[in-house]
Amino acid sequence: MTATENFMALRRRARWLRLVASAGAGLCLAVTLLAVFGPATGSAGLLAATLHTDGLPHAWAGAIALLLAALVAAALWQLARMLGEVERGALFAPAATRHFRRFARLLLVAALLRLLLPPLAVLALVAMERSATVTLSFSGGDLLALFVAVVLFFVARLFDEAARLEEDSRSIV
């Protein structure tokens, strides 16, 4: 396969992934909205989504879920925009790396908030009720998501450096 064929295949994959990321952003919001505002469990509809509150009041868990869904959807939208740049042939253009950096940052914020907001909400409820019993837990999945987000943010910084090097290379030639 020649370099031109590889580049064209990369652009086709970027188009497909852009469509998947865009659809994922919309689905993330739609499913979360259905879980928060849809009928309670046991609905007889074609599609059902359940909000797991982990002991929080539905309103609190719903607010956290909506915030996280909005952040993830925004991150996926930035990823779709970056893939759109790649699809147009701008692999390391400043716009592409800027969108990827935003994607990584939004995903990092979402992972941090997913880890911190539920325990903070529990502590706030305990403080409001003057209760002394608090149980806090973190899942390995939450920690893994945080680690992946940190790695993606590092990759975004590498892309920034690659874009700078490519620009330096063009100015020399």
> What pLDDT score was predicted for residue 118?
87
pLDDT band at 130 (very low <50, low <70, confident <90, very high): low
Of 64, 53, 62, 154, the residue nearest 108 (C-alpha): 154
Q: Write the single-letter amino acid at 33.
A: L
How does DSSP classify residue 56?
A: S
Of 79, 55, 155, 65, the residue nearest 110 (C-alpha): 65
> What pLDDT score was predicted for residue 133?
63
> Within a 13 Å sphere around the CA of 165, how many CA atoms are in the beta-carbon half?
7
pLDDT score of 95 more than 90: no
Q: Write the single-letter amino acid at 81.
A: R
Residue that is written with structure tokens 């020649």 in the block:
2
pLDDT score of 99 more than 70: yes
Please give the average per-residue pLDDT across 18-39, as a whole number.
93
Q: How far apart are CA 86 and CA 84, in angstroms?
A: 5
pLDDT band at 51 (very low <50, low <70, confident <90, very high): confident
For the entire predicted model, the pTM comes to 0.85
pLDDT band at 44 (very low <50, low <70, confident <90, very high): low
pLDDT band at 108 (very low <50, low <70, confident <90, very high): very high
Rg (CA), the chain: 21
